């Protein structure tokens, strides 16, 4: 009779498992169904709806898909562009460029458009994350398909994953993590270090090109797990035996990944338009201690009114496990510990260390409790100034805790099925799992109709008013809160209408305090005037000096045409189009009416 796997095994130790193809199919279909359920609001009209709470990030990723495909098909640099932020351009290597997705899905982007391709990737990300964790669990960690299914589906549709499904194509690519875990522990195999190192190096390069921050967190987590696991007295002999092969494989990984990522890494750390850190406040973007026991918004508990406002925004509910799940996880840990031999406890020690360390680091520089900032300094205050670490948002470190919980749930179910408790205890365990997981069942993302792209763009009429590669600007100028410019540009690129450049844009670049990054460029007078009118509905006072500043800005950006559509999308607040038209008329004179936009010719193309 084959022996059963145990929590003592490192995550990819070969264990005798019976592959249940029927269970594989069921889990895959359930994962796809849940992914479509979560994104169902967008599937109603992929090109006509947007994610309500994060339409700006959705517009950015749609633009990245369109630009990446266009760059590859035209032989341009996919990691640096002058199509936005004229004249300086944007270093996409320090942004979430999702280059691999943009290249692989380029044919689909050209066929169905950036918004629909975005939706396909988002849906597949969610489903693939659950399936990949199920595969790792069922093939290498547990005997029970039910245990693997519960663990995989929980991780794939955890509160943090559903929260980041609000337009984050990088963070929802959680399927990369179990693959990285699998290949890291494959390096222990003697005689295969060269091949395994090459495979891991390729995977690291792909992960960097889709979710660099997630890759960094995964590397930190794996490093801590391996260190704690290997230093445990029960595993030291095995660790010493596999260390030479492991180190050789890591060296090959570094060479392969380094060669593939040499140019992106140079751009990231030494290229033009680079920056250090981010423009986000680590205190604001840290996890509230109470958030671990809180319930997420997009869940049954949230729909029942148990949601909170402990996250900085709806896309950053990185923990939000709810107190029943925390209690259940603790009970699972105790159950496993009581049944564990020394080697099994070594793995539990390592998993416990991951959960504690990353939970504490997610609290950021100072602790917050139930929305109130304390004066209690946290370990991240010491680490947050280090290179690379200073570019990470501490709250997202809580995402590492999710797989730990998923693993403990799967291990516990596997143990309970191997050694079933008496009936009263079995009923209590079943009720405990239902009480902990049912409130977290995800509900669909909030979506709303998006403002249509003007006929002026979709018909190609813009080409009569802009020279090839010339500069056109929507008003207000494109930013995270005004994503129209990049939405229009994405449409033109994906439909092979040609290129027009825009000033400003939604990107991370230099110009923040203390040499740190910021969203978009440093504001200039023209963009500030339009922003004021769009927000307040009050046209500014225009003087001769104001007009001179505006002319200087238009020259700086080399703008040929200024365009105001009938409907402007404001990602955070409504936009007053009439105030914008009055402001532009005072600055640039009377406009032309072309198709469905107001247009001002700044200079002949």
Take residue 113 and report the two structure tokens written for it.
């458009």
H helix intervals, 363-400? 380-383
Residue 395 Cα distances to 98, 368, 384, 402, 434, angstroms: 22, 11, 12, 13, 27
Strand-pair partners of 295: 307
Nearest-CA neighbor of 288 among 394, 371, 164, 376?
371
3-state SS of 478-542?
Answer: CCCCCCHHHHHHHHHHHCCCCCCECCCCCCEEECCHHHEEEECCCCCHHHHHHHHHHHHCCCCCC
Q: Please, which contacts does 454-460 make with residues 24 or more away whose CB atoms are closer than 8 Å?
A: 454/488, 454/563, 454/565, 454/566, 454/595, 454/596, 454/597, 455/595, 455/596, 456/563, 456/565, 456/594, 456/595, 456/596, 456/597, 456/599, 457/488, 457/491, 457/492, 458/491, 458/495, 459/595, 460/497
Nearest-CA neighbor of 325 among 439, 430, 157, 417?
439
Take residue 41 and report the two structure tokens written for it.
């609001």
Q: What is the pLDDT of residue 101?
A: 97
**Phi, psi dihedral angles at 516 (to 5 degrees):** -85, 175
Nearest-CA neighbor of 507 among 531, 479, 527, 485?
479
pLDDT tens-digit profile of 85-116?
999 999 999 998 899 999 999 999 999 999 99
3-state SS of 460-480?
Answer: CHHHHCCCCCCEEEECCCCCC
Residues 6+ apart with CB under 8 A from 55: 167, 450, 483, 569, 571
Distance of alpha carbon 515 from the chain centroid: 24
Q: What is the pLDDT of residue 78?
A: 95
Q: What is the pLDDT of residue 2?
A: 35
Count of alpha carbons within 13 angstroms of residue 383, beta-carbon side? 17
Report the alpha-carbon distance of residue 35 to residue 514 in Å, rounded.
41
Report which DSSP code applies to 450: P
Whole-structure pTM value: 0.94
Q: What is the pLDDT of residue 423?
A: 92
Report the alpha-carbon distance of residue 300 to residue 304 in Å, rounded.
6
Q: What is the pLDDT of residue 18?
A: 55
Query: What angle do helix axes 193-231 and 236-260 make, rounded to 10 degrees?
Result: 130
Report the alpha-carbon distance of residue 140 to residue 73 in Å, rounded.
41
| Calculated CA dihedral for residues 169, 174, 179, 185, nearest 10 degrees | 130
Report the alpha-carbon distance of residue 292 to residue 534 in Å, rounded.
38
Please name the helix (run of DSSP H) or strand (run of DSSP E) that holds residue 369, with its range, or none. strand 366-369
Other C-beta atoms lying within 10 Å of the C-beta of residue 568: 18
Report the alpha-carbon distance of residue 95 to residue 315 in Å, rounded.
18
Query: What angle do helix axes 145-156 and 423-437 make, rounded to 10 degrees?
Result: 20
Residues of the chain with pLDDT under 70: 1-18, 604-605
Nearest-CA neighbor of 164 among 60, 23, 340, 298?
298
- Collapsed DSSP state (helix, strand, coil) of residue 429: helix
Residue 163 in contact with residue 311, Cβ under 8 Å? yes
Nearest-CA neighbor of 535 among 485, 483, 573?
573
Distance of alpha carbon 405 from the chain centroid: 20
Q: What is the pLDDT of residue 12?
A: 42
Q: Which residue has the tokens 């660099």?
A: 212
- Collapsed DSSP state (helix, strand, coil) of residue 307: strand
């Amino acid at each position: 009779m084959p022996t059963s796997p145990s929590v003592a095994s490192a995550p990819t130790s070969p264990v005798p498992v019976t592959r249940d193809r029927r269970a594989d199919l069921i889990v895959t279909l359930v994962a796809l169904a849940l992914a479509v359920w979560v994104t169902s609001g967008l599937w109603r009209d992929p090109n006509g709806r947007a994610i309500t709470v994060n339409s700006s990030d959705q517009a950015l990723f749609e633009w990245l898909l369109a630009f990446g495909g266009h760059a590859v098909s035209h032989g341009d640099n996919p990691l640096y562009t002058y199509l936005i932020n004229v004249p300086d351009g944007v270093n996409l290597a320090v942004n979430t460029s999702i280059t691999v997705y943009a290249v692989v899905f380029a044919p689909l982007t050209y066929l169905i458009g950036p918004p629909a391709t975005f939706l396909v990737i988002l849906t597949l990300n969610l489903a693939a994350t659950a399936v990949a964790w199920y595969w790792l669990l069922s093939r290498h960690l547990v005997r029970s398909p039910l245990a693997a299914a519960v663990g995989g589906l929980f991780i794939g549709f955890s509160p943090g994953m559903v929260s980041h499904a609000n337009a984050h194509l990088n963070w929802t690519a959680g399927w990369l993590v179990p693959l990285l875990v699998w290949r890291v522990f494959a390096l222990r195999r003697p005689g295969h270090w060269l091949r395994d190192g090459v495979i891991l190096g390729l995977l690291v390069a792909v992960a960097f090109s889709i979710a660099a921050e997630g890759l960094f967190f995964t590397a930190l987590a794996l490093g801590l797990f391996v260190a704690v696991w290997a230093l445990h007295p029960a595993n030291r002999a095995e660790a010493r035996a596999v260390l030479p092969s492991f180190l050789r494989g890591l060296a090959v990984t570094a060479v392969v990944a380094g060669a593939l990522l040499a140019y992106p890494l140079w751009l990231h750390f030494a290229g033009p338009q680079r920056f250090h850190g981010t423009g986000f406040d680590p205190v604001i973007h840290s996890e509230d201690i109470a958030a671990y026991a809180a319930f997420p918004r997009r869940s049954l508990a949230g729909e029942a009114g148990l949601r909170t406002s402990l996250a900085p925004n709806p896309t950053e509910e990185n923990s939000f496990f709810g107190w029943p799940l925390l209690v259940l996880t603790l009970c699972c840990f105790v159950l496993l510990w009581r049944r564990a031999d020394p080697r099994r406890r070594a793995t539990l020690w390592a998993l416990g260390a991951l959960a504690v360390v990353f939970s504490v680091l997610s609290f950021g520089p100072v602790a917050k409790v139930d929305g109130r900032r304390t004066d209690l300094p946290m370990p991240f205050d010491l680490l947050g100034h280090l290179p690379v670490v200073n570019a990470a948002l501490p709250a997202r470190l809580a995402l590492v805790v999710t797989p730990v919980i998923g693993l403990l749930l799967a291990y516990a179910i596997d143990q309970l099925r191997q050694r079933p408790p008496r009936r009263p205890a079995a009923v209590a365990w079943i009720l405990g799992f239902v009480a902990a997981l049912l409130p977290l069942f995800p509900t669909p993302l909030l979506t709303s109709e998006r403002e249509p792209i003007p006929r002026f763009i979709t018909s190609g009429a813009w080409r009569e008013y802009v020279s090839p590669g010339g500069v056109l600007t929507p008003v207000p100028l494109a930013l995270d809160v005004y994503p129209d410019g990049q939405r229009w540009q994405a449409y033109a690129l994906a439909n092979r209408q040609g290129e027009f450049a825009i000033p400003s844009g939604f990107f991370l670049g230099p110009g923040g305090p203390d040499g740190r990054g910021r969203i978009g460029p440093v504001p200039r007078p023209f963009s500030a005037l339009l922003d004021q009118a769009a927000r307040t509905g009050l046209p500014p006072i225009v003087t001769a000096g104001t007009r001179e500043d505006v002319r200087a800005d238009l020259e700086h950006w080399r703008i040929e045409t200024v365009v105001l559509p009938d409907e402007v999308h404001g990602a955070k607040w409504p936009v007053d189009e009439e105030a914008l038209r009055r402001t532009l008329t005072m600055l640039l004179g009377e406009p032309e009416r072309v198709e469905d936009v107001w247009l001002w010719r700044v200079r002949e193309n």
